Chains A and B, each alone.
Chain A
Amino acid sequence: MTSESHRAFPGSDGLHSLFFLLKTSLRYILQHPAQFALGLLGISLGIAVVVAIDVAIASSKRAFSLSVDAVAGEASHRIVGDGFGIDEDIYRQLRVEHGFRSIAPLVETEALRLEPVRGVVKILGVDLYAEAGIRSWTFAQGKGKPGRETRGSWVSELVVSPGTCVISRAHLENLQAQVGDRLTLRIAGRLEQLRIVGILEESTGLDRERFGSIVLTDIATAQELLAEPGKLSQIDVRLTDDAELDRLGSLLPQGVHLEKAGGRQRSLEQMTAAFDLNLRSLSLLALLVGWFLIDNTMAFSVVQRRSVFGRLRTLGVTRRQVFAVVLLEGLAFGIAGAVLGCVLGLILGKALVGVVAGTLGDLYFAVEVNSMAVPVWTLIKGSALGMGACLLAAGGPAREASSSDPRDVLRRSTLEARTQARVGRHAVLGALALSLAGLLLVFPSNRLAVGYASLLLVVVGFVGLAPLSIRLLVLATLSIGGRWLGVVHRYAIRCIDQHLSRTAFAITALSVAIAMAMGVGIMVSSFRGSVADWLEQTLTGDIYVGLQGTVSRQGNQLPLAETLVNRLTTLDGVVGVAAIRRFETATTFGPTEILVRREMGQHRENRQLIAEQEEGDLPAIFASEPLVFRHDLELGDTLEVATGAGLVKFEIVGVFRDYVSDMGYLSLADSVYESYWEDRSTSAMALFLGEEAEVDAVVAAVREAATEVYGEDLAEVGFLASRSADLRRESLRVFDRTFRITDVLRLLATLVAMVGVASAFMALLLERTREFGTLRAAGLTRAGVLHLTTTQSVVMGGIAGALAIPLGVIFAAILTLVVNRRSFGWSLDFFVDPGVVGVGFVTSIVAAVLAGLLPAWRLARLEPAEALRERGE
């Protein structure tokens, strides 16, 4: 900085001149509303996506943890069994014979509410007289039918009358029901009706959430609903005295044990950590595109005002003042973007809650989200990210505006010349970043963050290499297409290279967004392909029979009626069956699902082992790939499983492929199962048919047999008899549903990119106003202008699309082979879907054309004379 720059202008002090400068900024912004609005929209959308994803995840999880809270109450521990509930006599013995009082029995299940409104409910069967100190319920007298009040307390009615329940006021309002009405539930494969006899009062807003989907019944009623007399789901315990806890633990029979409460909450966090991280990372990519946008807007605004800044500098405005004013502009953008982004984010979040909750429901747990959770932290984080991005974006242009010599600043060509000169240097830096990304990927690590870091480096590398690539592609287009291109086309295309400082930006932004969409698309299609292959090999049976529970895939499967199982085994045309039993039990890693397959007759093997070893002395167990990954296991490792015969040590002798659960599960040979568990129920069956059997005829026979057990309305009770092809289709449908959220994100990122392209075009084309004025004066018609600009759009879109292909494939490879593997432990077959690539390429061109329309239209409308006069430099 030189001393001359200290000449005061126009006020006598720095603050005054800064104020003056800010006024010029404001005037400039007001004169170019569309341009700034687009920039603002871009950054706001970026912030909005981050906020929305956070809000959607937080809301779904809060709804879940609140329903867990309602169940756990104040319990410090709980007594659980081997996966098939616990014998109620254990409870009686603890209370009557051993005098334990801070214990409460619980029969818990999920059910599907069919009437009056379809939804998922959690049924809690409690002994109200044992709840003190564990769970606290407040009941309000509802308005019953006339005369009901005189019959006495409905609380005793809840206990005495079978088929009665109490639901919360919020629940009642949601259903638009009243006391005395009936709920129709699908539970344990049957339709059951419960009469509402009272209202569970919410004393706080939290209770409203907590009890939102709870149906409270007497414990006897719940046992009858589940058709599991004698069984409790768990016994909740509130004990802090270690000696008493030890005494309690020592009294429990084999197969039943005491564990700390709150485990469910923790396992929820573990369960969904990878899912959350993936969603959040994708939302950050949207913010990245948004950042590109604001960066471009800022750079453009500075370029447009370089004459103003130059004049101001010659008049004595200091570099520092210019720097400060541009930074302040960035900050103002950041603040406006943060406010708008948070508001948009909340709106978007509300729309996304359903999608996220649906995905979480398919993957992890069923939940009905009744209200939004808006963590303050989310808003702070979104705003900080947005403002940070804006300041960062303003930094470069601010330096550019302030650092250059006043005379240089006056010349537009200086910037362009510098950009052109830097193409090589950027390319070297880009290549370096790419190499680093490669190194990170080769580096042996299971850390997901490393995967994402390499993804980011790839983007940085791409951005560095982009100008050079664009130049090469332009030259290639010109030399290859030279013969067929007219003068206007050649001019339009060459302009792209000549205005690289502007075009490179627009193309890069679009390219990154398209590549991201492509990458996610390729990953999903690879995933889908792997799952489809796996389904093909796994569903070896011809017909599958089972009872659908609610919407949750976790937890115990409902058992099929034994008479039906026997009946189906001997059905005409059936030559073999595989009876499948799925249940959840406590293991070294917390509650884990176990699958047992008992085969009879002619059947086809279906387990796809990735690795196996000889059986050792310990009983053998098989683990799915995600389980092995999640808990860092290998063949030969041992784990403890709560069985009917107490805790038993098993050895992992095989790892099998599975895409059903990212939690992973275990599998046991039937013989091993039978020596440790008593329960012989069947949760699903695979039927193998003889050569000449008609599949549809057998399905009809199965359904007929089921009607005898479950009644006429098989769909209502959730009974399914599907041909394996149908089951495959259904499974893939669920798969698609779980990826709906990524579709939404892809769309949003593309949208942000389009806004970016529009804003870049706007900058580019407006900057060339005089050029176009000259062309118009030379005889180019309006249509010619449109033609010219559209050609440019198409070529730029094409270049962006072409560049997006390698980036998208690298993206996809990292997502499929690194991120997915490190998140869920799934090994997937990588497959580049040409359809996804093609759609990406076309989207790129369409987006570029659409984004170029408005600026092109504005240019075309200009009168040549006016355009020439308007040249502001």
Chain B
Amino acid sequence: MRRFSQDSGATPVRGEENRRSRLRSSAKSPISWPVATVLMGIFLLAAACRPASRTTVGESPVTFLSGGGSEGFERVLEPRLFDLPLDHGAHEAFQIEWWYLTGNLADPQQRRFGFELTFFRIGLEGKEGKASEGLSGRNSRWATDQLYMAHFAVTDVRAREFHAFERLTRGGLDLAGVRAFPLRVWNESWSLEAHPPVGASDPFPLKLVAGDRDGEMGEVSIELELMPKKPLVLQGDRGFSRKGPEPGNASYYLQDPRLEAIGNLTLGESRFEVSGLAWMDHEWSTSVLGAELVGWDWFALQLDDGRDLMVYQLRGRDGKATAASQGTIIDSDGKVVRLSSQDFDLRVTDHWRSSYSAATYPSGWRLRIPSQLIDLAITPVIEDQELRLSTTYWEGAVVVESTAQDLLGRGYVELVGYVAKE
């Protein structure tokens, strides 16, 4: 198996015989949305746990996210060589890892839907420097040091409905887990599974399956097949994505910003043949963000002209974006342009208040990137796309329009840190 290392990061390598070579480095990457979710959970937990110092399982399972400390886990300190396809799989030496998918879909009658499916892996105990024999000395298939969490959400634009579900499952007994090759990431009956042709080591086509039941609606499920339209991007410095000035405050980050999705979606009695564009991130790390941040707004936009745009801003205690806010543009050829916080201007144009969490979220933005001649209005397809799971955050489908209201593209936005800490 070949090892790949990308040192220049400037030249896109695309369309070659082997997907493994389509490696790409991007601008220095910020904390991405998935990190946000996990870390937010931890923050909330810390806040909730401190006074009472008690945990009720069965009521708030996310408390287990607190896991052990990061002691005993490897830290992300420098760029590394990626060993594909094995690196699509799990890295248990690191504490946190996720496979994160979002996308905008439509049926042949142009009925539009959004979806999110995320698989998290959380290490419960670091192994580094431990005298213990780990799992090898154990006689039960239930024995584990891994916890798996997954979130699945569907936005039904026409019905203005949003459905969100969660899975929190231990490792062991193959209830949830990750197989590196061919890639299979699953949490109970939800899965992301590679079905490469015989002989190919590529993870594509990827098949995604998830479903649950939501009250009166009944079944909410999705089945999609994903094929890439751009080469894999190594975010940050050859896939080494810094999150702050401290060493080790970083992640390894692989990204597929544009995947073609085709499949079907079931809502209650109705079944829709759907297709559209999806976005996938695979990231692993051990580090935890500094306490000076209260949250972040994250944008993943797929423009009709072939460009994909990732912008985020980190919010400090004063609610304002910090200088660490950044962005990336990947053009239709896969070429990456980095944006610093000075390169773009993001303004909130509207708000929405959740009656469930009492949080007031921004609900409309104007994004300008003068150097790229970009001036966009970003609007949620419906206001309420709040995930009320073991941690509460907003993540939903958006439309991207010109200031003259011409449709320019679609995307997904994540808003974290708006719910008051208890």
Contact = CB atoms under 8 A, between A and B. Distances in A.
A131 to B, nearest CB: 5
Contact of B139 (A88, A135, A229): A229
Interface stretch (A219-227, A567-575, A671-679): A219-227
A219 B57 CA distance: 15
Contacts of A136: 56-59
Contacts of B137: 162
Contacts of B57: 128, 131-132, 136-139, 155
Given A128-B64, A156-B67, A229 B56 contact: no
Given A99-B188, A129-B169, A151-B71, A223 B140 contact: yes
Interface in B373-420: none
Contacts of A156: 64, 66-68, 124-125, 147
Contacts of A153: 64, 66-68
A332 interface: no
A141 B66 CA distance: 14
B86 to A, nearest CB: 24
Interface in B116-164: 124-125, 137-145, 147
Contacts of B298: none
B110 interface: no
A127 interface: yes
Contacts of B140: 219-221, 223-224, 229
A7 interface: no
Contact of A127 (B139, B142, B186): B142
A160 B138 CA distance: 10
A160 B124 contact: yes
A101 interface: yes
B61 interface: yes
B130 to A, nearest CB: 11
Contacts of B170: 127-130, 159
Interface stretch (A89-97, A556-564, A714-722): A89-97
Contacts of A201: 54
Interface stretch (B25-33, B172-180, B239-247, B313-321): B172-180
A656 B138 CA distance: 45
Nearest to B211: A99
B188 A139 contact: no
What band does the interface of chain A fall in when counting residues whose beta carbon is under 8 Å from B?
Answer: 35 or more
B145 A133 contact: no
Interface string B359-377: 0000000000000000000
Contact of B69 (A130, A133, A151, A155): A151
A150 interface: yes
Contact of B189 (A97, A150, A229): A97
Which of B57, B68, B172 has the most C-beta atoms of chain A within 10 angstroms of its own C-beta? Answer: B57
A130 B168 CA distance: 8
Contacts of A135: 58
B125 to A, nearest CB: 4
A95 B188 contact: yes
Interface in A117-168: 127-141, 150-153, 155-157, 159-162
Contacts of A155: 55, 57, 63-64, 66
B173 A88 contact: yes
Interface in B193-228: 211
A218 interface: yes
A230 interface: yes
Given A152-B66, A159-B124, A220-B138, A129 B61 contact: yes
Contacts of A157: 68, 125
Contacts of A132: 57-59, 61
Nearest to A74: B58
Contacts of A224: 138-140, 143
Given A95-B188, A133-B58, A141 B64 contact: no
B270 interface: no
B53 interface: yes
Contacts, number: 129
A58 to B, nearest CB: 30
Interface in B49-88: 53-59, 61, 63-64, 66-69, 71
A155 B63 CA distance: 9
Contacts of A133: 58
Interface in A160-219: 160-162, 201, 218-219
A141 B54 contact: yes
B412 to A, nearest CB: 26
Contacts of A223: 139-140, 142
A99 B189 CA distance: 6
A576 to B, nearest CB: 35
A101 B141 CA distance: 20
A229 B53 CA distance: 34
B58 A131 contact: yes
Nearest to B63: A155
Which of B61, B63, B188 has the most C-beta atoms of chain A within 10 angstroms of its own C-beta? Answer: B188
A218 B141 CA distance: 12
A88 B69 contact: no
A218 B61 contact: no
A218 B68 contact: no
A137 B56 contact: yes
Nearest to A126: B57
A150 B141 CA distance: 29
Given A91-B173, A137-B56, A138-B56, A129 B143 contact: no
Interface string A226-243: 010110000000000000
Contacts of B142: 88, 127, 218-220, 223
A140 B49 CA distance: 10
Contacts of B124: 156, 159-160
Nearest to B49: A141
Contact of A151 (B63, B68, B139, B188): B68
Contacts of A140: 53-54
Contacts of B138: 162, 220, 224
Interface in A97-129: 97-99, 101, 127-129
A160 B125 contact: yes
Contacts of A91: 173
Nearest to A95: B188
B58 A101 contact: no
List of 9 A-B pairs having minimum Cβ-Cβ separation, nearest first: A152-B68, A220-B142, A220-B140, A223-B140, A220-B143, A156-B124, A136-B58, A132-B58, A99-B189
Interface of A: 88-89, 91-92, 95-99, 101, 127-141, 150-153, 155-157, 159-162, 201, 218-221, 223-224, 227, 229-230
Given A159-B170, A162-B143, 16 more contacts: A92-B175, A96-B175, A96-B186, A128-B57, A129-B169, A130-B169, A130-B170, A132-B61, A152-B66, A156-B66, A159-B144, A220-B143, A220-B144, A220-B172, A223-B140, A223-B142
23 contacts: A88-B173, A92-B173, A95-B175, A128-B170, A129-B168, A130-B169, A131-B57, A132-B57, A141-B53, A150-B69, A151-B68, A151-B69, A155-B64, A156-B66, A156-B67, A157-B125, A160-B124, A219-B142, A220-B141, A220-B144, A224-B138, A229-B139, A229-B140
